[in-house]
Amino acid sequence: MLSEEDLNFRPTEGKWSMGELLSHMSVICKADFLIGAGASEEEMDQFYEEAEPEVNRKAITEALLHNYAYLKEGIAKLSEEELLQERTSYFGVVHSRYEWLLDTQAHLFHHRGQLHSMIVHNLKLEPNVPLFE
């Protein structure tokens, strides 16, 4: 639906372009899983530097699929006991691994809503994607 040219669209100066938003969204699954596992700020800075893809459809799609698979496999390896363990993020928030997974979902939904608004209100396109299913 979005062209390579659309990825460069920046509706608000000083804020992410559509491509930058999608690039960020493509790493959320792994990034938030690492944060929930107790990664340090330095580890996360390094992860973002290495993991955020170039702003093009192919790189973003590949990163999204790779990082989703990482999250899915990581969750599958955790026992019920591990999912109930609380972890403190490098920025001081304490949650169980279950709660970190809810934060990951909320993080994705937040940016999905931003993207949807950009597509509908700025590009004047209707993505025909249900947001609440």
Confidence of residue 117 (pLDDT cuts 50, 70, 90): very high
Question: Is residue 79 scored above 80 in pLDDT?
Answer: yes
Rounded to whole angstroms, the Cα distance separating 121 from 81 reads 45
Beta bridge partners of residue 3, listed in sequence order: none
pLDDT band for position 1 (50/70/90)?
A: confident
Please state whether the predicted TM-score (pTM) of the whole model is above 0.85: yes
Q: With 80 as the cut, is the pLDDT of residue 69 above it?
A: yes
Cβ-contact 55, 10 below 8 angstroms:
no
- Confidence grade of residue 4 (pLDDT, cut at 50, 70, 90): very high
